[in-house]
Structure 1
């Protein structure tokens, strides 16, 4: 299992402070991929620029896909740009991977982050691993979850020891804030448009 998969499992199981959309999760999943790739030595950060290492294949298919999609020409890609580019529709890919490893318990509905709370899921090694990281307050998992509105019982916890990982987490939080601002702006614009047509 990987950090993106662990994050999605936690999103399935833990109540959030707000509705979580696919866009929110996709951005956070893209950040989680970067964290795993940093820890695997597949890339480094130069300030906020993603500097790829040698091209190689990881055990996980989605992380291998992420490695192959890294921009390998200078000035390289910023973390922010990666989140928006790689994050597009990433939720669907990880949901399929997670549901294959953590099936919904018999007779229960499938989980949909846009329609209500979590479904009851069958126990699995993948789910136990994610819950173990969560219960121990893993700073990466807790930080990524906080970005999408999932609060850990013990608060935000300690900052990650790796400065590059901290840069990624900060970028995820900033991207989530930007996404919410875009939503609010569109909501205001749509409301104003509706009012024009409803005016006598």
Structure 2
């Protein structure tokens, strides 16, 4: 399995202190893709810029799509730009892929318009992700912390030794913080707009 799929399994399996935002998860999934592409030597980093490498055949269709979408121009995009570009709607794409592969099912909802809840089935892929999570594997744990599945990492948490992977993880954290700032700004603007309409 891939890191993005493992992250999604964990996100759907774990009870977090707050709901995982789809935008945060999409950014983290894009980061997980970048980490797997680093591992496959499909990319390397020049500072914080992605440099495409050889074009391996990836076993996962979404990861293969990620490799195909790399910017192969001389001026390569930054990891942050990749996260925002690749991450758009990515959590929905991964959920759909899991559903297509029979890894998730939809429980029937009540009432005529309810589509039901997406639920993981017991599968070897889910068990592998659970084992990886239980081992406190640093990359998966750091991605989970970035989206709020668990509390933030501490000094005693296992660290990531690879500098390129650490750069991607830092970019994921920065992007999630930036997205939260955008949400807060919009909430303030919406509240101010509502107050104007109410004559306050």
Give the TM-score, by structure 2 length.
0.89
1:103 matched to which residue of 2?
A: 104
For residues 175 and 153 of structure 1, the distance between their equivalents in structure 2, rounded to whole angstroms, comes to 15
Verify: 1:148 aligned to 2:147, yes or no.
yes
For residues 8 and 39 of structure 1, the distance between their equivalents in structure 2, rounded to whole angstroms, comes to 19
For residues 178 and 76 of structure 1, the distance between their equivalents in structure 2, rounded to whole angstroms, comes to 22
Given that residues 41 and 54 in structure 2 are in contact (C-alpha distance below 8 angstroms), is that contact kept between their aligned partners in structure 1?
no
For residues 6 and 60 of structure 2, the distance between their equivalents in structure 1, rounded to whole angstroms, comes to 13
Query: 1:145 offset after TM fit, Å?
Result: 0.6
1:12-161 alignment runs, 5 A limit: 12-99=12-99, 100-104=101-105, 109-111=116-118, 119=119, 121-151=120-150, 157-161=157-161
Query: 1:40 offset after TM fit, Å?
Result: 0.8
How many residue pairs match? The answer is 192
Are the structure 2 counterparts of residues 101 and 161 from structure 1 closer, same or farther at C-alpha, using a change threshold of 3 Å?
A: farther
Are the structure 2 counterparts of residues 134 and 152 from structure 1 closer, same or farther at C-alpha, using a change threshold of 3 Å?
A: farther
Query: 1:107 offset after TM fit, Å?
Result: 7.0
Runs of 4+ in 1 over 4 A off after TM superposition: 105-109, 152-156
1:116 matched to which residue of 2?
A: none
Give the TM-score, by structure 1 length.
0.89
1:184 matched to which residue of 2?
A: 184
1:193 matched to which residue of 2?
A: 193
Query: 1:57 offset after TM fit, Å?
Result: 2.0
